[in-house]
Amino acid sequence: MSAHSIQLDRHGRLKHFLTTEGLSRDILTSILDYAESFAGVSGRAVKKVPLLRGKTVANLFFESSTRTRTTFELAAKRLSADVLNINIATSATSKGESLRDTLHTLEAMHCDLFVVRHGNSGAAHFIAGQVADNVHIINAGDGRHAHPTQAMLDVFTIRRHKPDFESLRVAIVGDIAHSRVARSKIHALSTLGVSDIRVIAPKTLLPVAIESLGVRVFHDLHEGLREVDVITMLRLQRERISNAVLPSEEEYFQCFGLTEARLSVASPDVMVMHPGPINRGIEIDSQVADGARSVILQQVSHGIAVRMAVMAMVTGAASDAGSGAD
C-alpha cells in the first residue's frame, strides 16, 4: 500500500487526510474552496453548522499541543460533532498499553473520526491501516513527516492574498530537517503549481535529498529572500544546540533570523508566516512578527475553517467532497 493511496477510497475520494503528498490538484483545491465556505461561520452569531451532528470525534494527542488541538476541537464543535480529547502522553500508553490496544479500545466506543498527533513519522499511516473501514483519520502531525492541515491553512492564507500560484516565489526558512510543516507545505505548493520554492538553512538543518522534492537550496538568507512573495519561518528547537546541530541561538539569529532590514530584498508586499509557537528573537524579530506583513494570526483563524472542511470531507458529510465545493 503506497503512502498516499491509502488516504483515498475506491471512488478516489478523501477518506483519511494523512499527507498532502500524492493528492491531486483537484482535491487540494476543493479543500481550499470548501474551507472558504466555512470561513464565514466563525464570524456569525450562531457559530454552528449541523454537518457532523451525531458523530464522535476523538482528538488523540500523543504529543502535547495547544493551538492545533484547540482549533481541531473548535472545528469539530462548529460542525456539531461530539468531541473527546484524549491526552495519551499522560494516559494509557504510559501504563504500558500498546498503541494498537489503545486504538481498539477507542474504536469500541464507536468514534467516527480520530485526529492524531504522534511523535513518530508514519504513525497516522499506521493507525489508518489498523482501524475499521468506517473510521477516518486526520493527521495532526506525525514526527518529521507531515502536518497536512497546517500546510493547507498556510496555503489557504496565501490564496486569500495572492491567488496566482503559478507566479509565486515562496521561501521556507529554518529547521527543514525536523519540520513536518515544511514537507507538507512543499508538496501542497508544488501540486498547486508553485514552481519557485526555496529552502533556506545551514546544511545541518536540511535533509540530505531535499532537492529531490523540487526545491532550491540556499545557505544565505539574503540571497534566498530576493523577490520572494511569501516567507515561512520555522520554529527552532533548543535541543538543536545541545545536539551539535547549531553553535548558538545568537549566531542563528544573526544568520537566519528574520528582521525588517532583511525583508528589504523581498517583494514589497511579501507575506510573513509562522506555524507557531514563535521564538521571538531567535528565528524572527518581534517587529516583523507583529508587523504589517505578518499574517501569523490570520493563519490561526483560518486553521478552524480548513479543519472544518477536512473533517466534513473525510467523513463524507461534505455533499460533493473530492470534486469541488458545495
Partner 1 sequence: MRILIRNGRLICPLQQLDDVGDVCIADGRIVAVGAPADGFSADLEITLEGEFICPGIVDLSVHTREPGFEHKASIASESAAALRAGVTGMVCPPNTRPVTDNPAVVELVRQRQARLKQTRIYPLGALTRGLEGRQLTAVAALRQAGCVGLSNADRPIVDTEVLRRAFEYAASFELPVFIHPEDSYLRNQGVMHEGKISTRLGLPGIPETAETSAISRALLLIEQTGVRAHFCRLSCARSVELVGAAKQQGLPISADVGICHLYLTETDVDGFNAQCHLWPPLRTDRDRLALLDGLRRGVIDAICSDHQPHDEDAKAAPFSSTEAGASTLEALAPLAFNLVATRAFTPTQIIGALTCHPAAVIGIDSGSLTPGALADLFIFNDRQQWTLSAAALTSAGKNTPFDGWEMCGRVMHTFIDGKPAFTYE
What is d(CA 191, CA 254) in angstroms, rounded to the nearest whole number? 33
Q: Is 99 in the site for partner 1 (CB under 8 A)?
A: yes
140-159: which residues touch partner 1 (CB under 8 A)?
142-146
Q: Does 122 bind partner 1 (CB under 8 A)?
A: yes
- For every residue of 117-186, DSSP letters joined together read EESSTTHHHHHHHHS-TT-EEEEEEETTTB-HHHHHHHHHHHHHH---GGG-EEEEES--TT-HHHHHHH
> Is residue 84 involved in binding partner 1 (CB under 8 A)?
no
Nearer to partner 1, 103 or 236 (CB): 103
What would the grid cell of residue 320 be? Answer: 460533493
207 lies in the binding site for partner 1 (CB under 8 A) = yes
Query: What's the rounded Cα separation, in Å, for the pair 123 and 139?
Result: 9
208 half-sphere exposure, CB direction, 13 A CA radius: 0
Do residues 283 and 253 lie in contact, with contact meaning Cβ atoms separated by under 8 Å?
A: yes
Yes or no: say if 314 and 136 are a contact pair by the CB < 8 Å rule: yes
Nearer to partner 1, 139 or 294 (CB): 139
Among residues 60, 172, 210, 288, the one that binds partner 1 under rule CB under 8 A:
210
Determine which residue in the list 37, 42, 70, 120 makes contact with partner 1, applying CB under 8 A: 120
| Residues between 14 and 33 with contacts to partner 1, criterion CB under 8 A | 21
Q: Which one of residues 41, 89, 213, 241 is an interface residue with partner 1 (CB under 8 A)? A: 213
State phi, psi for 185 to the nearest 5 degrees.
-70, -40
Out of 117, 118, 136, 240, point to the residue binding partner 1 (CB under 8 A). 118
Within positions 39 to 68, which residues make up the interface with partner 1, using CB under 8 A?
none
Residue carrying the nine cell digits 472544518? 308
Q: Which of 45, 46, 132, 208 binds partner 1 (CB under 8 A)?
A: 208
Return the residue of 98, 105, 204, 286 that touches partner 1, per CB under 8 A: 98
| Cis amide bond preceding 268, omega within 30 | no
69 binds partner 1 (CB under 8 A): no
Segment near partner 1 (CB under 8 A); pick from 49-57, 66-74, 98-106, 263-271: 98-106
Q: What strands lie across the sheet with 136-142, from one edge to the other?
A: 82-87, 56-61, 113-118, 136-142
Give the span between the Cα atoms of 154 and 168, in whole angstroms.
Answer: 14
> Interface residues with partner 1 (CB under 8 A)?
1-3, 6, 21, 98-100, 118, 120-123, 125-126, 130, 142-146, 180, 183, 207-210, 212-213
